[in-house]
Amino acid sequence: MNTEVNQDFKIGVVGAGSWGTALANLLGCKGYPLDLWVFEPDVCRQIAKQHENKVYLPGVTLSPNLRPTNDLQDVVADKDLVLLVVPSHLMRETTLRMADVIGPATIVVSASKGIENKSHLTMSGVIRETLTGLAEDHLAVISGPSFAREVARQAPTVVTAASRSLSTAEKVQQVFATSYFRVYSNQDMIGVELGGAVKNVIAIAAGVIDGLGLGLNTRAALITRGLVEIQRLGKRLGADQRTLAGIAGVGDLILTCTGDLSRNHTVGKKIGEGLKLEEILSEMRMVAEGVKTAKSVHNLSREVNVEMPICREMYHILYEGASPQEAVYRLMTRDLKQELE
């Protein structure tokens, strides 16, 4: 595996939540000197002084190669690669602030998973609209079954780097790959992004099932039929079905629907236990992307005429106060049909 580090290759990481911090630390530990944009001044000072992000990734000693700063433009200016790891609903605002300083030769990689509410664009679509000077073949995404905390403790993990340009995907693959972080290349950006975004909605639904105490049969059925919904939407939008059966599809779906570290599953479980969404979110500092993505997926599926009953019921639960028990009943009593329709 050729993963040699070019010390002159300049990297900026935008976003210091758990996932951004974990990826920045991976690159720093690999040997890349990099700048890390931190939104909160107190978190920035903490990383600089204590080499730890106690808010979003506590207990992990961060590489001294990380230089935290609150200056966004300084982080992205004159860089060979910029990694975006901000919540999906902040992607447009953040990249607009970068537009005047991002270089045309810079490779921009999104590690954020979501679909924008108003435009129904994936994150690469948002980036194309905001970073108008960026070459299309310099845009990439990275996704897969990868809890930040496990990556931070160097547990073996596999992800996919996708770009319409195979050479760009392979460059990102080389930059991020380590002995514990295996990166595959892919040219199906929309498939990788849809898998990473929609699985968060299904993960909330899986959490609801667990919160209701309905058992493993029900959860297995939910995950399986959730994959069908992801595949339906992917087919309509031009995704390669092999992508959705791979790391960024099935792999990420299984992890997020079953792992205790999943914020989306946690939100769903608390809803199933009877808590209100507002109460749950008020106690969380980190973002559960599936909450906002549920609205995007619901509206997008109607726009492109794709049947996604699980995602529809999650929208009703999250945004219209529907009863989880009634949602399960509606799903189970839908008209009978062939499985492979």
Of 160, 177, 152, 141, nearest to 30 by C-alpha is: 177
For residue 39, give both structure tokens. 């939104």
- Distance, in Å, from the CA atom of 238 to the CA atom of 244, rounded to the nearest integer, reads 12
- Distance, in Å, from the CA atom of 14 to the CA atom of 7, rounded to the nearest integer, reads 20
**What does the angle CA 335 – CA 338 – CA 340 come to, to the nearest 5 degrees?**
130
Q: CA dist 145 to 3, 155, 182, 192, 246, Å?
A: 21, 12, 11, 11, 10
Non-local (6+) Cβ contacts of 81 within 8 A are 9, 10, 11, 12, 106, 107, 108, 109, 172, 175
Of 194, 39, 211, 206, nearest to 121 by C-alpha is: 194
Nearest-Å Rg of the Cα atoms of the chain is: 20
- Distance, in Å, from the CA atom of 284 to the CA atom of 171, rounded to the nearest integer, reads 36
Q: 31: alpha, beta or left, given left = phi > 0 and alpha = psi -120 to 50? A: left
Choosing from 30, 113, 171, 199, the catalytic residue is 199
**What does the angle CA 163 – CA 118 – CA 313 come to, to the nearest 5 degrees?**
95
Active-site residue, 199 included: yes
For residue 79, give both structure tokens. 């860089």
Active site positions, annotated: 199
